[in-house]
Amino acid sequence: MEIGGIPALRAWRKRQTGTVALVPTMGALHSGHRALMERARQTADHLVVSIFVNPLQFGPGEDFTRYPRPFDEDIAACEEAGADFVFAPAFIEMYPSAPEVTVTGGRMGAVFEGADRPGHFDGVLTVVTKLFTLIEPDVTVFGLKDIQQFSLVRRLIADLDFDIELIGLPVVRDRDGLATSSRNEYLSPGERAAALAIPRALAAAEKAVRIDRALPPDTLDVARRMLDIGLETARAEGGPDVRVHYLSLVDAATLQPVSDHFRGSALLLAAVTVGTTRLIDNVPLEFAAE
């Protein structure tokens, strides 16, 4: 396994024959990342994992400086996963000067996470475009926990004519049901207990659709009640401060809110700050035709 920045990457890439898969990360690798790497390893002859904490996607007051950077552990995880190259550029390599030309997420990037974190997806799409250009992957694998990010990368590939296959990996969860995330390590035991209200609310909504054939309004009501109950219980027990940013039912293709009688593939999206940690999660739902 080789490790390096842009010059080393370019030299390595010129020597390769066969297909290349990319798993972009900001490091702090966990079981979700390992699942991404395992899936990518199955799809191509060579695996590149990028580790770069991208400052463009952090807004003022966000956790850029405290974002975990356990580089040695990350390298060991990449080697165990069978990575051929770990692209770990220095900040100055990726941004020798403040970029004047960037990629924007448009209307799809201005809702949900984009509404609460203006410019976030512009930063994500700009760095992903740079990674695609530098690495020239045939395949890239993203997790579906960050479903809005996945949807925007899908549009990026289509709109800018990248010849790259995009694979989405379903949400990976810890044993207690919480979606795996590098930010989970910020949670205290009490905060983690409160955060479990999120996957429980999503699971209740999924059950309502799958078993009770609930329509969108009832499905959203089930999720809201379960989330409220869970968070109120945490507050009553002296738990952490919590803030629900959104709990929304949207069309899986457009991320637009669904109508009351929607039929087809939908997503239930949630974002909640527990203590000082923002957590996102989602569940796919299928509303069958009558």
Mind telling me the catalytic residues?
A: 33
Task: Tell whether residue 97 is among the known ligand binding residues.
Answer: no
Q: 213: which residues sit within 8 A by CB, 6+ positions away?
A: 288
Matching residue, tokens 């956790």: 63
Task: Tell whether residue 27 is among the known ligand binding residues.
Answer: yes
N-terminal to C-terminal alpha carbon distance within the chain: 53
The amino acid sitting at 98 is A
Matching residue, tokens 């395949």: 139
Task: Tell whether residue 259 is among the known ligand binding residues.
Answer: no
Task: Tell whether residue 46 is among the known ligand binding residues.
Answer: no
Q: How far is C-alpha 132 from the geometric centre of its chain's CA atoms?
A: 17
Task: Tell whether residue 26 is among the known ligand binding residues.
Answer: yes
Q: CA gyration radius for the chain?
A: 20
CA distance 103 to 93: 18
Question: Around Cβ 101, how many Cβ atoms within 10 Å?
Answer: 5
Task: Tell whether residue 69 is among the known ligand binding residues.
Answer: no
Task: Tell whether residue 149 is among the known ligand binding residues.
Answer: yes
Task: Tell whether residue 50 is among the known ligand binding residues.
Answer: no
Residues forming the annotated binding site for (R)-pantoate? 57, 149
Can you say which residues are annotated as belonging to the binding site for beta-alanine?
57
Which residues contribute to the annotated binding site for ATP? 26-33, 143-146, 172, 180-183
Known binding-site positions: 26-33, 57, 143-146, 149, 172, 180-183
